[in-house]
């Protein structure tokens, strides 16, 4: 699955000021709940992201986290992106504050698709050059292009 199939410019926020994981999840929940293709409340999305995060941090290092959840009553895979003004503690294994967050919600039964997208995102965000470009581009539309046009070699 391509990132361009699951992420829209409307579900991207750049230079956001938050100080906690919970606040990040609130932003993501509101962005995803606005999608007309789903019948989930922001509260339901928030709870699912929080439950998953309690199992272990979704921070992958390098200042990046990929909060995700498989959600009952969800028919489509959706993503959202936040770039924080200042990194926050996300329990990363490398102890780095997180400022780039890409969230994903998938239908409960979409295990394989879920894992494929997570692997693609991890590969993308593991690249120093990619993270550097993403952080240094000022315009959120340009960040969207970078995220959706990335090609994993």
- For residue 53, give Cα distances in angstroms to 22, 48, 107: 10, 9, 17
CB 15 within 8 A of CB 27: no
The rounded distance, in Å, linking the Cα atoms of 66 and 115 is: 12
- 43 given a catalytic annotation: no
Q: Which of 15, 43, 68, 152 is catalytic?
A: 68
Residues contacting 115, CB < 8 A, separation 6+: none
Report how many helices (DSSP H) and strands (DSSP E) the chain contains, helices first: 5, 6
| DSSP string for residues in 42-57 | HHHHHHHHHHHHHHS-
Catalytic residues: 68
């Amino acid at each position: 699955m391509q990132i361009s199939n699951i992420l829209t410019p409307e579900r991207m926020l750049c230079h956001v000021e938050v100080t906690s994981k919970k606040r990040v999840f609130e932003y993501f929940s509101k962005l995803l709940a606005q999608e007309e293709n789903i019948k989930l409340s922001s509260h339901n999305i928030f709870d699912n992201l929080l439950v998953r995060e309690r199992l272990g941090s979704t921070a992958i290092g390098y200042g990046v986290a990929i909060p995700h959840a498989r959600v009952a009553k969800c028919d489509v895979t959706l993503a959202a992106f936040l770039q924080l003004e200042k990194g926050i503690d996300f329990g990363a294994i490398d102890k780095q504050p997180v400022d780039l967050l890409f969230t994903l919600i998938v239908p409960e039964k979409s295990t394989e698709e879920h894992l494929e997208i997570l692997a693609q995102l991890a590969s993308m965000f593991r690249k120093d050059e990619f993270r550097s470009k993403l952080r240094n581009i000022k315009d959120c539309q340009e960040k969207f292009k970078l995220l959706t046009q990335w090609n994993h070699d």
